[in-house]
C-alpha cells in the first residue's frame, strides 16, 4: 500500500482504494459533488437539535463492523484468520463463488490476501467514520439545546469513536495517515489532501490523546440499556491495550521494518528497543485498576462443586478458591445467566449475535442446529492445564497426563465439575481432569452439550456429542463440508 493517501474521495464517503479494488464507482459519480452539498445541508440541520446530534453520533458508531461476526458480513479479518483454529469448509476454499466472504478468513490465513483484495476492505469506511466524528467535534458547540452534561457526554463519545476508528485502522493496516481534525472542504487542493502515513508511535500517541479526552468527558458507568456506549473505563482500556502493543517487540525495535521509512527518512516502526514503554503500559493498566470498579467475577461454591486439589489453597477468594465455583465463575461471563450490570469484569461490551456467523452457531453440532465448523488445533487444547494447575507436559502424580498409548482410553467413571457440568465416563483420558476453563469452553468427543438455550420446536438437551467419522456430529447432506476435522471445537 502507498504511504500517501488522498482523502478528497472521503467527501463522497468512498475511498479511491475501495473504488479501484471493488469497482463500485465511476469517474462521473466520483466527480459529482451534488451528494456532498446535499449532505452538507443535512449536516447544518443536525446541529439545530440535540436529538439529531445524538442520532448522528449513534450513526457514526454503526460504521464500525460487528466484531462478534466471524464470516460473511463482518468484513473484519480477525475472527478466523488465526493459527488457533480453522473453518471446516477450508477444503472448499475459493470454490464458492456465491459466498466469497465465507473463505476470506482462509485467504488471510493462507497468505492469499493481497492489497488488491476486496475482502476486509475497511479503509474507506473507517475514514468516513473519522470524518463524521470530526464534523461533530468541530460543530457541536452550535447545538444550543444541549445541557452541559449532555455536551460532555456527546463530546466524549465522539472522541472515543474517532480514536476507535483509528485503533481499528492501526490493527488492520499498521501506521496510517492522521487527517486534520477539521474536515476537508470540497475545494481542498489535492496536494493538501494527500497525507503521508504517520509513524506507528505517532498513531499510538494520537489515539491515546483522543481516548484521554474521551475519559475526561465520559461517565464512569452506563446502565445496561446503554451498555454499548463507551464509558470512562472503556477509553482507559483502549489506552492500556495500545500502550501494550507499542511496547511489544513487534513495534518496539523490530528490525524487520528497518527499510520502511517516511519521506523524510524516519522509521515507521521504531528501530530502538525502549523498555520504558513497558512501564508506560503498566501505568495505563494501573489507572483502570485504581478506578476500583472492575474485578474478577466469582460464583459461590455449592455442595455440587468439584473438590479442589490438595495443592490449591482452600482460603477464600482472592487468596484461594475455597469459597467459589471456578467453572461457574468463568462460564457465567459468556452464557448470559448473570445480569450484565452485576459482572464487574465487563468494561466495554455488547450483546453478541447467536446465529449465523457467531462463534456459538459455528461451533454447535449440526444435530443442534449449528454449522459444526470451528476446528481447534492441538496446541491450543494443550495450553489448558490440569486441574491442579500443572502444565500437561509436566503434570503431577495426582493427575497424570496419559501417554500416547492410553490417551484414547475412556475414564469409565464419570465425575462432576460443577452443578451444571459432568464429565461422563466415555470421555478419553486425554480430556479428563483439566482445569475448569477447559470444560466451560471446549467441545470434545463424548462431551455433553446441555442445549438449554435451544428454542426450536423439538428441544434437544444433554446430548453426548461425538466427532468420529460415524459420530452424531456428522455433516448434514446439504452441507457435506460441515464436519469437525480435529475432534475439538
Query: Looking at residue 11, what is its pLDDT?
Result: 34
Task: Map residue 277 onto helix, strand or coil.
Answer: helix
Alpha-carbon span 308 to 470, nearest angstrom = 37
| Residue 346 confidence (pLDDT) | 92
Q: How far is CA 438 from the centre of its chain?
A: 20
**Distant-in-sequence, close-in-space partners of 121: CB < 8 Å, separation ≥ 6:** 17, 18, 21, 22, 75
Q: How much is the pLDDT for 65? A: 80
Please choose, from the candidates 260, 242, 258, the residue with its C-alpha nearest in 3D space to the C-alpha of residue 3: 260
Nearest to 14 by CA among 35, 42, 40: 35
Among 63, 85, 67, 89, residue whose Cα is nearest residue 76 = 67
Do residues 60 and 36 touch, judged by C-beta distance below 8 A?
no
How much is the pLDDT for 183?
82
Q: Record the pTM.
A: 0.85
The answer to whether 270 and 253 are in contact (CB under 8 A) is yes
Q: State residue 173 phi and psi, 5-degree precision.
A: -115, -5
3: β partners: none
**Cα–Cα distances in angstroms (integers) from residue 404 to residues 97, 383, 401, 408, in the given order:** 42, 17, 9, 8
- Nine-digit cell string for 117: 483484495
For residue 19, the model assigns a pLDDT of 27
C-alpha cell at 106: 482462509
pLDDT at 477: 81
What is the distance between the alpha carbons of residues 35 and 38, in angstroms, rounded to a whole number?
5
Return phi, psi of residue 415, to 5°: -145, 155
Q: Which grid cell is 480?
A: 457435506
CA distance 92 to 63: 31
Nearest to 488 by CA among 443, 449, 432, 430: 443
Quote the pLDDT of residue 372.
84
* Cβ proximity of 53 and 154 under 8 Å: yes
**Which set of grid coordinates corresponds to residue 463?**
446430548
Going along the chain from its start, the domains and CATH numbers come out as: 4-65+122-289 (1.25.40.890)
Tell me how far CA of residue 351 lies from CA of 334, 354, 435, 470, in angstroms: 10, 9, 27, 36
DSSP 86-139: EEGGGGGTTT-TT-GGGGHHHHHHTT---TT--TT--HHHHHHHHHHHHHHHHH
Confirm if 146 and 100 have CB atoms less than 8 A apart: no
Cα angle for residues 308, 310, 316 (degrees, 5° grid)? 55
Residue 429 burial class via C-beta count within 10 angstroms: exposed 0-12, middle 13-18, buried 19 and up: middle
String of DSSP letters for 332-348 = TTTSS-S-GGG-TT-SS
Q: pLDDT below 50 — which residues of the chain?
A: 1-2, 5-38, 73, 98, 100-101
Amino acid at each position: 500500500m502507498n504511504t500517501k493517501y488522498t482523502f478528497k474521495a472521503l467527501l463522497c464517503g468512498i475511498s479511491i482504494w475501495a473504488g479501484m479494488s471493488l469497482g463500485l464507482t465511476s469517474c462521473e459519480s466520483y466527480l459529482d459533488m451534488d451528494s456532498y452539498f446535499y449532505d452538507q445541508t443535512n449536516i447544518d440541520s443536525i446541529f439545530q437539535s440535540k436529538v439529531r446530534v445524538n442520532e448522528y453520533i449513534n450513526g457514526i458508531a454503526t460504521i464500525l463492523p460487528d466484531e462478534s461476526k466471524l464470516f460473511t458480513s463482518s468484513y473484519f479479518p480477525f475472527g478466523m484468520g488465526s493459527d488457533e483454529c480453522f473453518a471446516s469448509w477450508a477444503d472448499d476454499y475459493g470454490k464458492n463463488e456465491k459466498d466469497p466472504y465465507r473463505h476470506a478468513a482462509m485467504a488471510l490465513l493462507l497468505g492469499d490476501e493481497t492489497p488488491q483484495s476486496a475482502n476486509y476492505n475497511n479503509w474507506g469506511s473507517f475514514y468516513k467514520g473519522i470524518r463524521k466524528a470530526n464534523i461533530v467535534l468541530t460543530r457541536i458547540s452550535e447545538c444550543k439545546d444541549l445541557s452541559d452534561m449532555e455536551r460532555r457526554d456527546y463530546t466524549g463519545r465522539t472522541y472515543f469513536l474517532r480514536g476507535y476508528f483509528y485503533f481499528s485502522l492501526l490493527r488492520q493496516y499498521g501506521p496510517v495517515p492522521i487527517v486534520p481534525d477539521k474536515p476537508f472542504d470540497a475545494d481542498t487542493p489535492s496536494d493538501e489532501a494527500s497525507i503521508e502515513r504517520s509513524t506507528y508511535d505517532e498513531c499510538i500517541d494520537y489515539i491515546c490523546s483522543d481516548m484521554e479526552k474521551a475519559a475526561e468527558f465520559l461517565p464512569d458507568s452506563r446502565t445496561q440499556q446503554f451498555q454499548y456506549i463507551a464509558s470512562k473505563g472503556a477509553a482507559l482500556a483502549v489506552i492500556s491495550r495500545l500502550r501494550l502493543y507499542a511496547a511489544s517487540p513487534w513495534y518496539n525495535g523490530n528490525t524487520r521494518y528497518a527499510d520502511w521509512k517516511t519521506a523524510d527518512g524516519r522509521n515507521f516502526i521504531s528501530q530502538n528497543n525502549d523498555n520504558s514503554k513497558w512501564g508506560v503500559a503498566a501505568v495505563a493498566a494501573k489507572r483502570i485498576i485504581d478506578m476500583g470498579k472492575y474485578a474478577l467475577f466469582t460464583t459461590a461454591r455449592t455442595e455440587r462443586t468439584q473438590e479442589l486439589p490438595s495443592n490449591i489453597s482452600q482460603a477464600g477468594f482472592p487468596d484461594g478458591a475455597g469459597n467459589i465455583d471456578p467453572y461457574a465463575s468463568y462460564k457465567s461471563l459468556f452464557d448470559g445467566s448473570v445480569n450484565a450490570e452485576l459482572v464487574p469484569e465487563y468494561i466495554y461490551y455488547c450483546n453478541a449475535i447467536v446465529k449465523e456467523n457467531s462463534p456459538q452457531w459455528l461451533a454447535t453440532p449440526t444435530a443442534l442446529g449449528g454449522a459444526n465448523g470451528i476446528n481447534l488445533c492441538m496446541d491450543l487444547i494443550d495450553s489448558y492445564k490440569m486441574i491442579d494447575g500443572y502444565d500437561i507436559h509436566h503434570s503431577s502424580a495426582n493427575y497424570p497426563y496419559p501417554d500416547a498409548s492410553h490417551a484414547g482410553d475412556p475414564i469409565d467413571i464419570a465425575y462432576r465439575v460443577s452443578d451444571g457440568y459432568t464429565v461422563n465416563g466415555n470421555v478419553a483420558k486425554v480430556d479428563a481432569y483439566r482445569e475448569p476453563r477447559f470444560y466451560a469452553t471446549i467441545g470434545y468427543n463424548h462431551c455433553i452439550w446441555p442445549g438449554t438455550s435451544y428454542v426450536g420446536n423439538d428441544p434437544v438437551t444433554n446430548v453426548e456429542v461425538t466427532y468420529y467419522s460415524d459420530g452424531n456430529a456428522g455433516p448434514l447432506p446439504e452441507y457435506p463440508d460441515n464436519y469437525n476435522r480435529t475432534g475439538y471445537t
